[in-house]
Chains A and B, each alone.
Chain A
């Protein structure tokens, strides 16, 4: 079964840091670009970041550029998102998502993790 399982969320103070992990299984992780999408409580979906299948190329939404870092470990089938300089407006459920087709950096998101909640508050 193709599966994504996020972890690492929690309560953090403004200005703090957190690292989210996403463990992938059931597919050839190294062949697929991976992305992060977030959803603030009661709000819609917001695109956050992307990383190519090899890890060489990355992309960040303006709202997180310079503060978040996406990375991946293809040997351990794990995606990461390092969150730094956190703000109240970063409070959201963070979803790890897989693209549908191999080797395409941008595509439909066919598999979503269950999400991990990040709360930024003092």
Chain B
């Protein structure tokens, strides 16, 4: 199985800060990488697909980059409503696999 290693597992930042989360795949997955946001008690929501494409309706402060094995998710200016857990997911190989998640909190 492809292992998706996300870091950090949690972070605390101030409103307006730039936040960066990384995701490393155990082997080359090209750009078959998606990012989801999950707020407490809610279903996940797709934010970024194919590594760098912003899902329709997602705020432009969210962005993604990378290919191969190393990927980055960025919130350009953290907002209070961004408090959530973020997951990366690869869909190049079966089984589809998710990263362990990054919990983002406000400092």
Q: Which residue numbers of A lie inside 8 Å of B, CB to CB?
A: 35, 44-47, 50, 59, 61-62, 95, 100, 106-110, 112-115
Contact = CB atoms under 8 A, between A and B. Distances in A.
A44 B101 contact: yes
Residue with the highest number of chain A CB atoms closer than 10 Å, among B36, B44, B100, B101: B44
B80 interface: no
Interface in B30-52: 34, 36, 38, 43-46, 49-50
Nearest to B35: A108
B56 to A, nearest CB: 9
A95 B45 CA distance: 12
A100 B46 contact: yes
Nearest to A113: B43
A115 B100 CA distance: 19
Given A47-B98, A95-B43, A106-B94, 7 more contacts: A44-B87, A47-B95, A47-B97, A59-B95, A108-B55, A109-B89, A110-B46
Residue with the highest number of chain B CB atoms closer than 10 Å, among A46, A47, A61: A47
A27 to B, nearest CB: 14
B11 interface: no
B34 A108 contact: yes
A106 B34 contact: no
B91 to A, nearest CB: 5
A47 B96 contact: yes
A45 B55 CA distance: 20
A115 B45 CA distance: 13
A114 B91 contact: no
Contacts of B101: 44-45
14 contacts: A44-B99, A45-B36, A45-B44, A50-B96, A62-B95, A107-B91, A108-B34, A108-B49, A109-B44, A109-B89, A110-B55, A112-B43, A114-B43, A115-B43
A46 to B, nearest CB: 7
Nearest to B98: A45
B94 A59 contact: yes
A113 B44 CA distance: 9
Contacts of A95: 43-44
